[in-house]
Amino acid sequence: MDTTVDLDTFSSLVERPDDSARRAADERWQEAGRPRGGLGKLEELGSWLSSVQGRSPVRPVSAPKVLLFAADHGVAALGVSRLPAQGGTAARVRAVLDGSAPVARLAARYGADLRVVDVAVDSDPADFPDEVVAHRIRRGSGRIDIEDALTPEETVRAFRAGMAVADEEADSGTDLVLLGDIGVGSTTVAAVLVGALCGTDAAAVCGRGSGIDDRVWMVKCATIRDSLRRARPVLGDQLALLGATGGADFAAITGFLLQAAVRRLPVVLDGVVSSACALVAQRIAFRAPEWWRAGQSSGEPAQAKAYDRLTLTPLQDQGITVGEGVGAVLALPLLQAAGDALAEEAPRPFVPAAPKEQPKLPSAADLLRRL
């Protein structure tokens, strides 16, 4: 198995979305005699869909897929989350698979398929279906404040696993990915990556994650601080950064985002984890963010900094911090509406409605006779 990745090739392989299709979509809307900006955000989204599809009129979104990468993180053992470090991630994966998790219900409500990719959940692989663990790299990851999350070989394998998932989705006909994650301690890892790439200190990127109190926030902030010291020496090497202070899910999501852009597969980002991976991916291929949209603002300071650097504006601000792709799924109706509103309309011949038979009303004489 090839254990290397030539990151430089992504810069040449990732092309910009089709600008001519975008312009055609804008012109088509104006030629229809509708006021410019009349549909607000839907017009911009419809034009974006045209550009990533490379066609105008836009094709309505018909095969969306909720894609969740799952992994455990060694820093969870420090108590940086309200969720249990032992078994918490596995329990959330089971809830998604059995349909009881909010993201599973919302995906069904909006007509999206759902897929979970376990790359490093700390559980027995036999706990989940074969298709879920097909890309598993390892169980859990190292504590990034004192050790690397992954070995260099594991980092490459995880990155390539994400690329393989992108190819699988593109080949299966998925036309829009709603990207999320499942993992206790993942917001801490995301804050480290964003803080390192944006050159900020720990306090500026440390959020409340799972709803932690002030005491736990200080523990989390100290963990991010110590991890940033380990991240800064490898900032020039994205794979080394993902291996030192990321994790298998972060490496896989980064590989997925880049290969999805190569395959012209549009992606809606969810929370701080996917935004952190997007920031790493941008360092590898600067055009890649044009294939993504930010589903929502979670209120995490690291996510806000990442979106500012990526020049992405969240479609919604619902303050959803649960992860699991919920925020991305809630953006799906907007994209579906944009595709439907600006899609080609089949001409329909005018058929006058058949006159309705009116009830016979009594005349004045009839009424008088009844009195």
User: Catalytic residue positions?
Assistant: 324
- Give the other-Cβ count within 10 Å of 17's Cβ: 20
For residues 180 and 320, the answer to whether their CB atoms sit within 8 Å is no
The distance of Cα 210 from the centroid of its chain, to the nearest Å, equals 18
Task: Give the end-to-end CA distance of the chain in Å, rounded to a whole number.
Answer: 99
For residue 66, which phi and psi values (nearest 5 degrees)?
Answer: -85, 120
Structure tokens at 38: 């009349």
* Residues counted in the chain: 371
- DSSP H stretches of helix in 54-201: 88-97, 102-109, 130-133, 152-172, 186-198
In the three-class reduction of DSSP (H, G, I as helix; E, B as strand; rest coil), residue 87 is classed as coil
Determine the residue type at 159.
F
The interaxial angle of helices 272-284 and 186-198, nearest 10 deg, is 40
